[in-house]
């Protein structure tokens, strides 16, 4: 069961990072820093997310993304740049959640989590391209807020129902 729990958290971070890496990092860091989330011993490697610098940088980048994500076509440009950033960030968060492990398993976990983040990101980015085809700007705002809501709900699911988050 411990392996399944670790996998749920790692793949949860990978998936949510494909949607919004900065919000995922910011909220996880805040939850750890202010003890909204009590880290079990097996998750102690995530304690680094509570570093004030990490929270501050992630929060500032989230604010930047929050506004960029609401403007048609700027959101797609932002996503294009983040095609190279989100998979790396998702992989790093997933590996941090897994902690110390055999190097071969770490490589496999890195490949799986990077692929998971990339698939989620590609789905988000291609959806936003389609949304940008609509002549009104409201759909961008609704889609962006919905994505942020999915990240918040996903983190809540990871915290409270790790096994369910895997399935």
Question: What pLDDT is stored for residue 9 in this prediction?
Answer: 81
Assigned token pair, 165 = 């988050």
pLDDT digits (tens, 9 = 90+) for 13-56: 999 999 999 999 999 999 889 887 767 676 788 889 999 999 99
pLDDT digits (tens, 9 = 90+) for 121-141: 999 999 999 998 887 778 889
pLDDT at 164 over 60: no
Question: What pLDDT is stored for residue 90 in this prediction?
Answer: 95
Q: Is the dihedral of CA 8, 160, 13, 101 positive or negative?
A: negative
Domain of residue 7 covers: 2-166
pLDDT at 157 over 90: no
pTM beyond 0.85? yes
d(CA 140, CA 53): 30
How far CA 7 is from CA of 111, 130, 134, 161, in Å, comes to 13, 32, 38, 12
CB-CB neighbours of 132 under 10 Å:
18
Question: What pLDDT is stored for residue 3 in this prediction?
Answer: 66
Report the SS3 class of residue 167. coil
- The DSSP call for residue 48 is G
pLDDT digits (tens, 9 = 90+) for 40-98: 676 788 889 999 999 999 999 999 999 999 888 898 999 999 999 999 999 999 998 88
Q: How many domains is the chain built from?
A: 1
d(CA 122, CA 155): 20
């Amino acid at each position: 069961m411990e392996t399944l729990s670790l996998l749920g958290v790692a793949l949860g971070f990978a998936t949510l990072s494909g949607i919004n890496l900065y919000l995922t990092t910011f909220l996880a860091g805040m939850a750890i820093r202010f003890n909204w989330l009590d880290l079990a011993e097996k998750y102690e490697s995530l304690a680094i997310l509570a570093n004030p610098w990490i929270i501050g940088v992630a929060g500032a980048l989230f604010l930047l993304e929050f506004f960029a994500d609401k403007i048609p076509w700027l959101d797609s440009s932002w996503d294009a740049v983040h095609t190279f950033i989100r998979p790396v960030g998702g992989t790093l968060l997933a590996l941090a959640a897994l902690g110390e492990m055999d190097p071969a398993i770490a490589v496999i976990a890195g490949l799986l989590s990077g692929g998971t983040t990339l698939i989620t990101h590609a789905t988000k980015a291609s959806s936003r391209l389609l949304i940008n085809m609509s002549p009104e700007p409201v759909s961008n705002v609704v889609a962006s807020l919905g994505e942020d809501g999915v990240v918040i709900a996903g983190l809540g699911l990871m915290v409270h129902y790790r096994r369910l988050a895997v399935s």
